[in-house]
Structure 1
Amino acid sequence: MNVPRPQPAECPIGVFDSGVGGLSVLRHIRAQLPHEHLLYFADSGHAPYGEKTEEFVVERALAVTAFLLDHGAKALVVACNTATVAAIKAVRARYPELPVVGVEPGLKPAAAATRNGKVGVLATARTLKGDKFLQLREQISATTHAEFLLQAAVGLVDQIELGDLQAPKIGAMLEQYVAPLLAQGADTLVLGCTHYPFVRDGIEQVLAAHDRADVVLIDTGDAVARQLGRLLDTGALLRAAAPDAPATLRGFTTARPAALSAAFLALLDLDPVVAAADI
């Protein structure tokens, strides 16, 4: 079995997504763990995962994990809802000693937040079909009064990847996908893909247009960063502050490096070194 050796605290954390959506999680990690070195991998050359088979997503997740381990990653954040649902079990099975944190739609906090028991879940088709998601929904439905209203946002990830978050097409898609959830009475909306926080303003515009500004939006990026911090602390892997050696950030992509660089700048106001990854 290919098991990575324990990595010292000075090594970086690997974060990956099918594209730029995981930058929404990276934003929370940098805020909560400012001393950590970070590697961000955008598998944009094989995106979107949400419309691929589970076998394909598992294959890509294992390949990207191996790449990040080759670059010294001490921990892994699967910053993609689809990859978490489809592949995190396989990643943990292959690398049992590696601290791994995934993201999943925030059904539990949404069930706690809802006032009328109706929770809208906006996610990719692959996430909503995954066994992990369906089991989570059944578990929470059985122990709470929440009813989960599912909406696959087909094509939305592709549009967000293009980078123009104010594009009319994105606004039209948000209206198309959010409005039916509002019509069914949802008072809480789960952003079930790491890309979706980047169009939060557009979602809020749809809510306002339907006179539903009171709808609560659930983004789990903050919780992911907290869980990562706990795992690193437990494993004595937290990096100490080092004024003479500040935290670094590097990016990798299976598409054009210039596109990921543009996303870093537009979405996070960062300009790290970005390299192509041929895997």
Structure 2
Amino acid sequence: MNADDFIEIPIDSAQPVGMFDSGVGGLTVLKALRERLPGEDVLYLGDTARLPYGTKSPQTVTRYAVQAAGALVRRGIKMLVVACNTASAVALDAVREAYPGLAVVGVVEPGARAACAASRNGIIAVVATEGTIAGGAYHRAIAHIRPEAHIKGQPCPLFVSLAEEGWVDGPIAEAVAARYLEPIFSLPEKERPDSLVLGCTHFPLLEPAIRAVLGKGVRIVDSAATTAEVVHDRLVESGMLAESGCLGKARFLTTDDVERFARTGTRFLGTHIGPEQVELVDL
């Protein structure tokens, strides 16, 4: 952390919600947020120059997260959404300490709550990056909400690359999904999960391939919609909902290759992002 990171900026309801991820995966959270809160402006930062966070040490992820948060705070935001499972798993406390008074929402706890509600037999699988699984954040969050639950974690690092390249269905994606998931979901019935948490914001794009491997009997949980609901509730509680009544706007920042961010981000967001909408920044 740098001394400049410990700053306080006046907050009001007209400011945007800030959001960051290591890349474009967090745009799945932005999409859910815009569906739930269409009147809110959003400022999104994708730290594409340093992705993926999932293979970095906790110390490095924490440093990156505080820097990314600082870039958004200095531009004026009323709330911060850490739309990265790895950063949510290891860096939330550090971000909150660096920017006291700023509401900070991660994606792990909302995802854990949704998984606990979805599971009937209490056996829950979590697929995520190596860093998120190794850190055990989902295990702790699920155990806190549902102590009797059994959690089976599986790192799926290739899912990130597949999502970035747009290879989200078909034989290649399904073969990778099968390699990761079959050891868990081929267990005897009494040990087999009945729900699966997509513990990385890239992974919702792989849902067609995952569903093809698992069939219809497993509930797939995406934390994006649940996170958007948490953001809504926090804004209501604090009286910070946007008051304009107009459709909110999204602005985008990236740390590398504006053209690629716009191209890949369009796939994740589901609506067109033009390069002119993306600003290159240096953290």
Fold shared by both chains (TM-score > 0.5):
yes
Aligned partner of 1:276: which letter? Answer: L
With over 3 angstroms needed to count, the CA separation of the structure-2 counterparts of 1:52 and 1:33, relative to structure 1, is: same
- Give 1:172 deviation, angstroms: 2.1
Q: Which residue matches 2:195?
A: 188
Match of 1:226 in 2: 229
Q: Once the two structures are superposed, what CA deviation does each residue of 1:98-143 show, in whole Å capped at 9, x if it has no partner? A: 011101163343233323332211111111121544432443453x
CA gap of 1:87–1:140, structure 2 versus 1, over 3 A, is same
Residue number in structure 1 paired with 2:272: 270
Cα RMSD for the two superposed structures: 1.9
Unaligned runs of 5+ in 1: none
| Percent of residue pairs bearing the same amino acid type | 34
| 1:166 match: secondary structure | coil
Counterpart of 1:190 in 2: which secondary structure?
strand
**Superposition pairs for residues 67-82 of structure 1, below 5 Å?**
67-82=71-86
Tell me how far 1:78 sits from its aligned partner: 0.2
Number of residue pairs matched by the alignment: 271
Equivalents in 1 of 2:78, 2:210: separation in Å? Answer: 36
Match of 1:124 among 117, 120, 129: 129
Letter in 2 for 1:265: T
Instruction: State the SS of the aligned residue for 2:157.
Output: coil
Q: Which of the residues 171, 182, 189 maps onto 1:179?
A: 182
Alpha carbons 1:3, 1:97 under 8 Å: kept: no
- Check 1:172–1:222 CA distance in 2 against 1; reply closer, same or farther (3 A cut): same
Distance 1:187 1:133 in 2: 16
Correspondence for 2:119 among 88, 110, 114: 114
Give the whole-Å Cα distance in 1 for the aligned partners of 2:93 and 2:85: 13
The answer (yes or no) to whether the contact 2:20–2:82 under 8 Å persists in 1 is yes
Show the counterpart of 2:204.
Answer: 197
Task: Verify the 8 A CA contact 2:139 2:151 in the aligned structure 1.
Answer: no
TM, length-normalised to structure 2 = 0.89
**Where does structure 1 differ by over 3 angstroms across 4 or more consecutive aligned residues?**
131-134, 166-169
2:168 & 2:115 partners in 1: Cα distance? Answer: 25
TM-score, structure 1 as length reference: 0.90
**Counterparts of 1:262 and 1:115 in 2: how far apart (Å)?**
39
Please give the secondary structure, in 1, of the residue aligned with 2:214: helix
Distance 1:103 1:237 in 2: 20
Rounded Cα–Cα distance in structure 1 between residues aligned with 2:53 and 2:23: 9
Q: Which residue of 1 aligns with 2:262?
A: 261
The 3 A distance-change label for structure 1 pair 141 and 242 is: closer
- Residues 134-177 of structure 1: CA distance to partner in whole angstroms, max 9, x if unpaired? 432443453x3x21111111222122122332364433221111
Q: Tell me if the contact between 2:116 and 2:142 (Cα under 8 Å) persists in the aligned partners.
A: no
Q: Which moved more, 1:249-258 or 1:153-162?
A: 153-162
Whether contact under 8 Å (2:194, 2:219) holds in the other structure is yes
Please, which moves more after superposition, 105-114 or 125-134? 105-114
| AA at the equivalent of 2:118 | A
Show the 5 A alignment for 1:159-178. Answer: 159-166=162-169, 168-178=171-181
